[in-house]
């Protein structure tokens, strides 16, 4: 039989040894010491590497297409291709960081430099497209 003197803890008191904190809405935060495993980081690096290889082929295709059909100079087309490569690669890096741990990697120290580099690459891409 069950014990008769069993008492449930009070609802408004949380035990001191619980490893998580709760917000006012009752949604628990992730533990402060959450880390990304080495396996996850290796998979993310591999995904970025595969994306970089794919984007390199896209860069070459765009450069050749700009020279042949748009009659751009090869130097301008190459600048547009590399700018597009940078924009796509930085977007892939942000996506991988968001998938790994969005609470830690999508903070301002990570997003601001990547975002600024992306904006500069995008501006360079449009400048290259507007040149002859």
Are the beta carbons of 62 and 81 closer than 8 angstroms? Answer: yes
pLDDT in tens, 40-96: 999 999 999 999 999 999 999 999 999 999 899 999 999 999 999 999 999 999 999
Asked if pLDDT for residue 20 goes beyond 60, the answer is no
Q: Compute the distance between CA of residue 107 and CA of residue 33 in angstroms, rounded to an integer.
A: 16
Residue with tokens 């050749």: 64
End-to-end CA distance of the chain: 88
Strand partners, 22: 28
Q: Compute the distance between CA of residue 126 and CA of residue 118 in angstroms, rounded to an integer.
A: 12
Residue 30, pLDDT score: 47
> How much is the pTM?
0.72
pLDDT in tens, 112-126: 999 999 999 999 999
pLDDT in tens, 95-111: 999 999 888 888 899 99
Asked if pLDDT for residue 29 goes beyond 90, the answer is no
Residue 60, pLDDT score: 96
Asked if pLDDT for residue 18 goes beyond 60, the answer is no
């Amino acid at each position: 039989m069950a014990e008769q003197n069993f008492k449930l803890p009070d609802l408004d008191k949380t035990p001191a040894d619980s490893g998580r904190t709760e917000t006012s809405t009752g949604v628990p935060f992730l533990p402060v010491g959450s880390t990304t495993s080495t396996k996850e980081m290796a998979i993310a690096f591999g995904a970025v590497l595969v994306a970089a290889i794919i984007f390199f082929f896209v860069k070459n295709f765009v450069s050749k297409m700009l020279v042949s059909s748009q009659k751009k100079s090869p130097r301008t087309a190459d600048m547009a291709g590399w700018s597009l490569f940078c924009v796509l690669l930085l977007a892939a890096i942000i996506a991988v960081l968001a998938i790994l741990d969005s609470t830690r990697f999508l903070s301002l120290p990570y997003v601001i430099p990547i975002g600024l580099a992306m904006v500069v690459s995008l501006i360079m891409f449009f400048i290259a497209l507007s040149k002859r």
